[in-house]
Each structure stands twice: as C-alpha cells, then as structure tokens.
C-alpha cells in the first residue's frame, strides 16, 4: 500500500538529489580547473581581477569590470545559506556571484558603448546635449528611435 509508495518517492528523490550533487561536483571541478573557484569553492576574486587587468580593452572598461567583481562579491556575501544539503549550501553564494557578475559585465560593456558614442562628438557641451537645433534644422538621425533608446 501506501508505505511502499512513500518509500518509492523517497528513493526517487534521493536518486535525483545524488544526480544533482554529481552534476554540481562536475561543474565545480571544471570551474576550479579554469580558475574561477578556489579549492574551498569560493569565487577566485583575485584571479578574476588579474585576468581583467590583462584584457586588451580600455582602462575605463577594466575599472567598470573590477568594480563589478567587487559589487557582486559584497552582494553574494549577503545571501543566506540555510539549505540542508551541504554541497548546495556551498554553491549558493558562488552562483549568486556569477549571476550578478554576468549582468555587471554586460552593464560595463553598455557603458563602454555609451562613452564611445559620446566621445565621437568632440563638441560635448551641455548646450549641445540639450538643444533641439538639429531637430529644427530638419536633420534626421535614423539610429535615434524607440528601438535603440
């Protein structure tokens, strides 16, 4: 009857949990080999900052990316880790860090594009940014529309 069904479900859950733990261990092993995680499963912040420093990109972009590492490090330290499973509990903070950092890298790249776009305009005075002279003179800017805003 009923107790054998309970045992079956419990067994399935245990199998699923073991499968997930195995997958998590594989991912952590790869991330350690690539230098993203330390031996105690913490993101290797120092190594990431070193890598950023060696990138062939502008200093502004490097600075934004390093600030992203620091922001996400602090953010991930605030995540409670009250999970029962030890391995999952150990992975919660690194997962939050890497998800956060993925967004911060995107943000840094967007800021790079914005800086480049505005640096193309040599005449970047406040008057030129706020006046509508270009619109009044009949000039159209096809790249300026709601899709690109």
pTM of the full structure: 0.64
- On the CB side of 97, how many CA atoms lie within 13 Å of its CA? 20
| Separation of alpha carbons 126 and 12, rounded Å | 65
pLDDT tens digits, one per residue of 44-82 = 999 999 999 999 999 999 999 999 999 999 999 998 877
Q: Does the pLDDT value for residue 133 go beyond 60?
A: no
pLDDT score of 54: 96
* Local structure of residue 37 (DSSP, 8 states): B
Q: Does the pLDDT value for residue 148 go beyond 50?
A: no
pLDDT score of 126: 53
| Separation of alpha carbons 53 and 57, rounded Å | 9
Please answer whether residues 117 and 84 qualify as being in contact, where contact means their C-beta atoms are separated by less than 8 angstroms. no
Give the model's confidence band at 31: pLDDT under 50 very low, under 70 low, under 90 confident, else very high: confident
Work out the number of other CB atoms within 10 angstroms of the CB of residue 122.
5
């Amino acid at each position: 009857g009923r107790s054998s069904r309970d045992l079956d479900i419990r067994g399935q859950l245990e199998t699923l949990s073991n499968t997930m733990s195995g997958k998590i261990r594989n991912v952590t092993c790869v991330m350690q080999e690539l230098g993203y995680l330390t031996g105690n499963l913490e993101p290797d912040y120092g190594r990431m900052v070193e890598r950023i420093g060696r990138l062939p990109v502008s200093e502004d972009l490097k600075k934004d990316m390093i600030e992203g590492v620091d922001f996400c490090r602090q953010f991930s330290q605030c995540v409670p880790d009250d999970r029962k499973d030890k391995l999952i509990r150990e992975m919660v903070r690194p997962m939050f860090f890497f998800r956060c950092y993925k967004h911060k890298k995107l943000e840094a790249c967007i800021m790079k594009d914005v800086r480049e776009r505005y640096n193309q305009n040599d005449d970047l005075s406040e008057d030129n940014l706020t006046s509508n002279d270009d619109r009044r003179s009949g000039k159209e800017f096809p790249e300026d529309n709601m899709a690109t805003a």
